[in-house]
Amino acid sequence: MDDKPLVLKLHALMSECRAALNRAGIANPAHDLRLLAANATGLSAVELSTNPDWTVPHEAVRLIRASVERRANHEPVHRILGYREFYGLRLSLSEATLEPRPDTEALVDLVVPRAREMAAKHGQCHILDLGTGTGAIALALLDQVPNASVVATDISEHALDTALNNAQSNRLDDRFETLVSDWFAAVNRKFHIIVSNPPYIPTQTLETLDREVREHDPKAALDGGKDGLEAYRTIAAEVRGFLYPQGVVGVEVGHDQRAAVNTIFSAAEFNQIACMADLGGHDRALLFAG
């Protein structure tokens, strides 16, 4: 693209870039282009649509073209932007973190009322987030429950650095602690609530995932073992020793895994007390009590 002109009206640049995304088979090129152009220019979506004759600065032209080239290669748009919105918070992404999806907000919706009850009853609510990644679930809970505190674990120090940066940028770091841990291995205290969005994709189906997920989300955050349920077995087997009396466990599950995960927790003498569907109507978040 280096030989293309850098003095362009906005409408001409947007038309050029939309055509490139269409040729690449991007599903929603207009939406993605608006995000990339807004990020490069600092203009809002309204300003982009109402200023077609605006002469785009040279550097913004370069940035938009470079971003569009990456998107045309099927790099997820939020990876290009470097952040994603989740439950009203802006969260930075890194190579070590799963990109938070809107479906995961179902787990936050499910847990928030219980966390508020715990905080009202005990004056505080201690939460453990297993496999925190960007810190999305933990930080959303902190944002919604002022008397809550979170210990966020991950096996990746890089992921925990990302989560801590997100806590700091959202001014929630005073109630947020990180801990390198393989599930409960390094945890040495009890909690009112334990949450997790563990890897739940069966190993043999990883290669069938959409290219944008397969090539850009970390495998460790996706691979749930032979049947996709290994993490749930580990959590269910060990979680009781880390819960206060009347404590609860909330997990995200795959769209068809509710029954199987319920069976695993039932075998560990936990009862499913609530379920929350995602935006597509699939059972996505489960809450258990022992």
Q: Which residues contact 164 (CB under 8 A, 6 or more apart)?
A: 135, 173, 176, 178
DSSP 98-158: PPP-GGGHHHHHHHHHHHHHHHHHHS-EEEEEES-TTTHHHHHHHHH-TTEEEEEEES-HH
Write out pLDDT tens, residues 149-203: 999 999 999 999 999 999 999 999 999 999 999 999 999 999 999 999 999 999 9
Q: Residue 141 half-sphere exposure, CB side, CA atoms within 13 Å?
A: 37
Q: What is the pTM of this model?
A: 0.92
Q: Is the pLDDT of residue 76 over 60?
A: yes
Predicted local distance difference test score (pLDDT) of residue 72:
97
Q: Phi and psi (nearest 5°) for 162?
A: -65, -45
Percentage, residues of the chain above pLDDT 90: 96
Burial of 204 (0-12, 13-18, 19+ CB in 10 A): exposed
The pair of structure tokens assigned to 54 is 């605006």
Predicted local distance difference test score (pLDDT) of residue 8:
85
Local structure of 76: helix, strand or coil: coil
